[in-house]
Amino acid sequence: MAAITFLEAIKQAMFEEMAADPSVVLIGEDVGVYGGAFKTSEGLLEKFGWERVIDTPISESAIIGAACGMSYLGLRPIVEMQFIDFIVCAFNQITNFVAKGHYLWNAPAPMVIRGPSGGGVHGGPFHSANPEMYFVHTPGLKVVYPSTPYDAKGLLKASIRDNNPVLFFEHKFLYRRLKEEIPAGDYTVPLGKAVVRREGKHLTILSYAAMMHTSLEAARALAREGIEAEVIDLRTLLPLDEETILQSVRKTNKCLVVHEDTKTGGIAGEIAALLCEKAFQELDGPVLRVTSLDTPVPYAPTLEAAFLPNAQKVFTTAKELARY
């Protein structure tokens, strides 16, 4: 057992899958010689050669289109978006071509589109995005957003082996700030399964990615005031693990959703609707949400801090909810 960073977990997952399966290739901007803008693919070119680690021009649509074409031959491409913000440059290719193929003409496209996402690192409006919900709205895709090195490795491996297109978001704030001991051998974490990070009985906090850690921090503060929050890490947003969510809310009867994505159209709204449909009788209070503001991600540290959720905001809202 060795403690590794989130970044190292991503690299290990790609390295091990490429070593085990010649159908796995990596394609993206600066992924080869440079080793990726964040060094997540460092050393892969040297090990696997230029045919399997493909540096491309700055053409997100072409990269994703080409990966889709490769998948039609039984290959399993991993696509790196240098920053996940740029995934929208390939929006049409993903939502119309890649996502619809299996339903329409029985064409599976096993591919992973992964990249660094999220704010809190002063990347500004075009290097801090959380664009997951554009894609959660697209049937045919899977959307994964891990919060720990263990999960990052296990979920990325499972995503590469999955027979569907998977969008894999890596919160860059976590890349080097987290270390975790992970098992030496091969393991996967199943897609579509949430996990209870902290058990509690007074209310449920649902979160994912960097905000999972913020939620845990708030839960510790709540505990000091006698409020035991159950914190659930969603891990996969599409398909959503309804069972784990409902099980927890049926126990605590209260639910707060925390995400770094902006408020309107975020997953919290979808979860609120789900709870209204399937657990309305068991709710003792409103489903509340702590999210980023409905603005672009601002650049100045003062503005970004105001934009993002934090443990204090989660704590305050959770206390409010606990009063019901």
Partner 1 sequence: MPAIESRRKAELSREQYLDLYYYMRLNREVEETMTRLFRQNKIVGGLYSSLGQEAISVGTAYALEKRDWLAPMIRNIGALLVKGVPPRDIFTQHMAKYTSPTKGRDGTSHFGDLENLHIVSPISMLGDLIPVMTGVAIGGRYLGQKIVTMTWIGDGGSSTGVFHEGLNFAASQRAPFVLILENNLWAYSTPVQRQVPLENLADRAKAYGIASYIVDGNDVVEVYTTAKEAVERARAGKGPILIEAKTFRRRGHAQHDPAEYIPKEQREFWEKRDPIALYEAFLVKEKLLDAKGKKEMEEKLTSLLEKEREFAVNSPMPPEETVYGGVYCTGDGCHKIRPKWERPIAEVMPPKSSVEPVWTVEGFGRGKNSSGKNAPIHFGDVPQEQKTQETQERSAKKSDKKPAAKSAKKAGR
What are the residues binding partner 1 (CB under 8 A)? Answer: 7-8, 19, 22-23, 25, 30, 33-35, 37-39, 42, 46-52, 54, 56-57, 59-75, 77, 92-93, 96-97, 100-108, 110, 120-123, 127, 139-140, 142, 163-164, 172-173, 175-176
For residue 122, the SS3 value is: coil
- Residue 244 C-beta: closest distance to partner 1, Å: 20
Cβ nearer to partner 1, comparing 94 with 258: 94
Cβ nearer to partner 1, comparing 120 with 149: 120
- Residue 270 C-beta: closest distance to partner 1, Å: 17
Query: Has 137 been annotated as catalytic?
Result: no
Cβ nearer to partner 1, comparing 138 with 207: 138
**What is the C-alpha separation between 83 and 126, in angstroms, rounded?**
9
Q: What does the block give as tokens for 107?
A: 């064409």
Cβ contact 262:295 at 8 Å: yes
- Residue 99 C-beta: closest distance to partner 1, Å: 9
Angle value at C-alpha 76, between 75 and 80, nearest 5 degrees: 130
Cβ nearer to partner 1, comparing 22 with 183: 22
- Residue 23 C-beta: closest distance to partner 1, Å: 5
**What is the C-alpha separation between 133 and 102, in angstroms, rounded?**
21
User: What are the C-alpha distances in Å from 94 to residues 2, 65, 80, 127, 181?
Assistant: 37, 8, 14, 20, 35
Catalytic residue among 122, 127, 137, 213: 127
Q: Percent helix, strand, coil in the chain (nearest 5)?
A: 40, 20, 40
Tell me the one-letter amino acid at 140.
G
Tokens 């704030």 belong to 173
> Looking at the annotation, which residues are catalytic?
127
